Amino acid sequence: MSMPHTRRVVDASQFPPLRPVPGYLAVVDFVRREISLGRLLPGDRLPAERRLAEQLGVARETLRQALRVLEGGGFLSIERGANGGAVILADVVDDAVLRSELRTRKDSLVQLIEYRAEIESSAARLAATKRTDADVDAMRAAQAELSGAEDKDVSRSADTAFHLAVATAAGNPFLLQAVEDARATMFFPVDLATFEFVKETSHRGHEAVLRAIADRDPDAAAAAMREHVEQTRVDLMALIDAE
């Protein structure tokens, strides 16, 4: 017979104060995430205020406040007039500033890459066993877009599309969310790297992953994805340490 649990009086000081997040910050975070994932590209025009507010489930004034914050942060510009609206801006970052940011975050980036290696290799393994022909077509379409990309923003978008196509093929929504979250965090500094680094490294790694998934070889798919993510680490460290 189990002994009754002794009730404790919990010390309230162990709980941090809960700070409500203003609604406009949720919109800011959403738009920044979509930019980081490459689903919003420079030059893209957001839907009209009324439609966007309804889609996001926020009041128009909340949306306007978020757009003002995003405009102040250099993520978009607000064009006036009948044909105006919010337009996504291109990144303009000095190379020295980029390297300084990467060096500051070096330890956390390595940890994030280790995490990506684990979850994305698992996704590739599952994808090789569960994938459909439509899944493989989606990966090939992303590769074709990456091959034809002429700037880093389209390259980034195609790279994300490939990795999320693999995660989707794994057939596990929790794994898909984990892959998307990791990539959104990763792309903050990585999407500012040179176009050649993002495109060429990604394309080579994707080809090996795609072949293994198409062949329904889970071990090869997991190994190829792990090697691809590891190459990302090597390239990033080279970029960080460059003079």
3-class DSSP state of 208: helix
Kindly report, residue by residue over 183-234, the tens digit of the pLDDT: 888 776 555 555 555 678 889 999 999 999 999 999 999 999 999 999 988 8
User: pLDDT exceeding 70 applies to what percent of the chain?
Assistant: 83
Q: What is the CATH number of domain 95-241?
A: 1.20.120.530
Condensed to tens digits (0 to 9), the pLDDT of residues 17-74 reads: 756 667 888 898 889 888 888 888 888 999 988 999 999 999 999 999 999 999 988 8
Residue that wins the pLDDT comparison between 224 and 100: 224
Query: What mean pLDDT, rounded, does the chain reach?
Result: 86
Rg over alpha carbons for the chain, rounded to the nearest Å, is 21
* Per-residue pLDDT at 169: 98
* 38 close to 157: Cβ distance less than 8 angstroms: yes
Residue 97 burial (C-beta neighbours within 10 Å; 0-12, 13-18, 19+)? exposed
All structural domains of the chain with their residue ranges: 19-88, 95-241
Minimal CA–CA distance to 236: which of 204, 195, 189? 189
Kindly report the CATH number that applies to the domain delimited by 19-88.
1.10.10.10
Closest CA to 190 of 98, 107, 117, 121: 98
> What pTM was computed for the model?
0.75
Tell me which residue has tokens 């280790």: 114
| CB-based contact 75:31 (threshold 8 Å) | yes
What is the token pair recorded at 234?
């090597």
Report the 3 state secondary structure along 101-149. Answer: HHHHCHHHHHHHHHHHHHHHHHHHHHHHHHCCHHHHHHHHHHHHHHHHC
Q: For the residues of 2-30, what is the DSSP string, one character each?
A: PPPPPP----GGGSPPP-PPPHHHHHHHH
